[in-house]
Amino acid sequence: MKTIDFTIDADGIAVLTVDVKDKPMNVITPEFIQDISKAADKISTDDKIKGAVVTSGKDSFMAGADLKDLVANFEQRTDAAEVYSWCRKLQQAYRKLETCGKPVAAAINGTALGGGLELALACHYRVVGNNPKTRLGQPEVQIGLMPGAGGTQRLLRLMGIEAALRMNTEGRHIAPEKALEMGFVDEVVEPEKEVTAAKAWVQTTDTIDAPWDRKGFKVPGGAGLMHPAAVQTQIIGAALMQKMTNHNYPAPLAIMSATYEGSVLPMDKALDVESKYFTQLLMDPISRNMTRTLFLNKGAADKLVRRPEGPEKRPVTKLGILGAGMMGAGVAYVSAYAGMQVVLLDMSKDNAEKGKDYSRILLQKRIDRGRMDADKAADILDRIATTDSYDELAGCELVIEAVFEDVDIKADVTAKTEAVISADSIFASNTSTLPITGLAKASQRPEQFIGIHFFSPVDKMPLVEVIVGEKTGDVAIAQALDYIQQIRKTPIVVNDSRGFYTSRVFGTYSKEGITMLAEGINPALIENVAKHAGMPVGPLAVTDEVTLELSHHVMTQTKKALGDAYVASAADDVIGKFVEDLDRKGKRFGKGFYDYPEGEKKRLWPDLAEHYPRAEEQPDPEEVRQRILYVQAIETVRCLDEGVLTHPADADIGSIFGWGYPPYTGGTISFIETEGLEHFVSEADRLAEAYGERFAVPESLRSMAEKGETFYQLAEARQHRPAA
């Protein structure tokens, strides 16, 4: 067998050691499916074999399918029968192992996820090593899929319907002791003793089948079309799921349906139900979108796929941060947490200490929740040195400025920093809108000047946008990416422009919402449709969050910089009125588009209708949804056209992890591909005629639609094009 080392010991116990060659972790391949089926046959028919133990030849037990192959194989498939047949192969191989007529134990010597855990569930007994790094789970829902090799059916029969639903719809990773408590593993032992314990069970048990294959088996907690507890779980669960997903994500509902239907059927028919739902999800573009962006593209970004090959890796040991406000304080925390010495500089020592307080508060929360001991927290805090002296920046390999968004202020701190740091140090700006090339004019070494744009709050937001100026060199890019990897964030690399990629496209979202308000569209309709479409916060609420004052400042700075080239919008007048005339500057100031009564929930300002009267005829919610999603996607295409973005993967990652474009779409570019380029262009033309040039698609997109091309296909072709 290519993927399983099959041996029989002196006691007649077959040991199946899974080892998928050329893979860092065991994954499900066509060869593995064949091998596990052959192994089950051998266990069943060989009289010398009394039972079997399944374990792994690697540090972890097993993951699920190779998702890269999954996306490639099923992106273009439209034959449901073909997909269904593929889905059944692994499921039936596991079922053959489960019904081989002899006791089979799983010796789980490391992480088991997805199809890997389903392999263990198909065994009659599960032993897991109590390694703190080991995690067990069914995370398929996080990429738009569901367990497809028996996970929905075996878990409900082991744990009961409610617990199984929670595990499968949340997709959490679970530690060994918790798994034992939940009831889907049978024994927790010291690491490296898993096989011994599994063999001991095989030698002493009279088990030859699973409980659900025995007459009279009942699901823990009850099941049945009319069972009160099961019906209540389904009704409440469906309501909660609708609230969580707004029906944008089919996987949780498929899991609920397969669980409820399967709970009243014999196992073999229940597995067939699971396969049918799994097939539906696999053929749905949502699973392709989520798998490609949230797993494959993000994984490549985390491994620094955009890093220049030449420069040697140079970890940051000492980091300088200019400005101890919210952003600087957040950067200080994540950097010290990652093990770096941090110099946090502000205009006064007191200001810098206030910035350090942010880390004190976060660390104390971890202590209070039992997630960190006090000594470790103290060590992290000790790594943050506060100062008002630039001399303390000496020895920093990287300095990040996070001062006020003003060109002159940034120029001043750049000059003061470069006067004391070494010749090979990198200087980075955390600006969210100002062009890096312009800011680099204040530097004596622009090739070592780069943009590193964090998102707030830094400790929670996973994305960092690296901005390359006209003169930025490869060493600076490599250093920035190496640093981002150190703090365990996901980077995208973009070229310079005003607003770069994330701020520029995110701005179209808030502006479109404000423009609709000016048109007389009910603000509650705007906000609710945006959230139902999958945006985390409505455009008016998010403008309040970042403050109208900041939006006004950016608008004023941009007008000043662009002069006659500036294109005004209806949103500009609204922002100007709120800041200059109404003194409603956003949440931080207690009032903006919303009111923020102390101790109460925020609410839309009742007087909005007085300033922006409601139109007599309100648009259909789908029209509002299209405007919100399309305007961001079209601006993303412009960023690709202008070379701000160099790959659609960066566009998709940045849109989801940067400002919360709906994950089910796969990101702004995947959204266009899911809509279909021809359909997208047609709808955009209609929107442009109705609402203005901001919806006009670039000619490149129109040409792609006419030729039947897609962004990812063209990117793949460029990647494999021979060098000239």
Residue 503, CA distances (Å) to 432, 607, 625, 632, 684 in order: 6, 29, 21, 11, 22
Beta strands in 240-376 (DSSP E): 318-322, 341-345
CA–CA separation, 9 vs 618, rounded Å?
A: 75
Is the separation of the CB atoms in 74 and 126 below 8 Å?
Answer: no
Phi, psi of 491 (to 5 degrees): -100, 150
SS3 call for 28: strand
Find where tokens 């799983």 sit.
106
Q: For residue 144, what are its two tokens?
A: 């738009």
Q: Tell me if 206 sits within 8 A of 214, measured CB to CB.
A: no
Q: Which positions ≥6 away from 5 have C-beta within 8 Å? A: 15, 16, 17, 19, 57
Number of H helices, E strands in the chain: 31, 18
Give me the catalytic one of 124, 227, 453, 679: 453
Beta strands in 73-203 (DSSP E): 104-108, 112-113, 125-129, 136-137, 187-189
Three-state SS string across 464-513, please? EEEEECCCCCHHHHHHHHHHHHHCCCEEEEEECCCCCCHHHHHHHHHHHH
Is the omega angle on the peptide bond into residue 536 within 30 degrees of 0, that is, cis?
no
Other Cβ atoms within 10 Å of 593 Cβ, number = 27
Mapping DSSP onto H, E and C, the string for 216-265 reads CCCCCCCCCCCCHHHHHHHHHHHHHHHHHHCCCCHHHHHHHHHHHHHCCC
Q: Are 540 and 514 in contact (CB under 8 A)?
A: yes
Tell me the CA distances in angstroms from 284 to 71, 248, 258, 712, one per residue in order. Answer: 11, 12, 17, 18
- Annotated catalytic, 453? yes
- Rounded CA separation 491/69 (Å): 24
Structure tokens at 641: 């056209």
Tokens read off for 589:
């100031």
Residue with the two structure tokens 């590193």: 452
Closest listed residue to residue 360, CA positions, set 331, 403, 329, 339 = 329
- What is the bridge-based pairing of β-strands 51-56 and 4-8? unpaired
How many C-beta atoms surround the C-beta of residue 199 within 10 A?
A: 20
Dihedral angle, C-alpha 214, 216, 221, 222, nearest 10 °? 120
Burial 29-49 (b: 16+ CB within 10 A, else e): beebbbbbbebbebbeeeeeb
Please check whether residue 382 is in contact with residue 356, taking contact to mean a CB–CB distance below 8 angstroms. Answer: no
* Residue 407 three-state SS: helix
Residues annotated catalytic, as ranges: 453
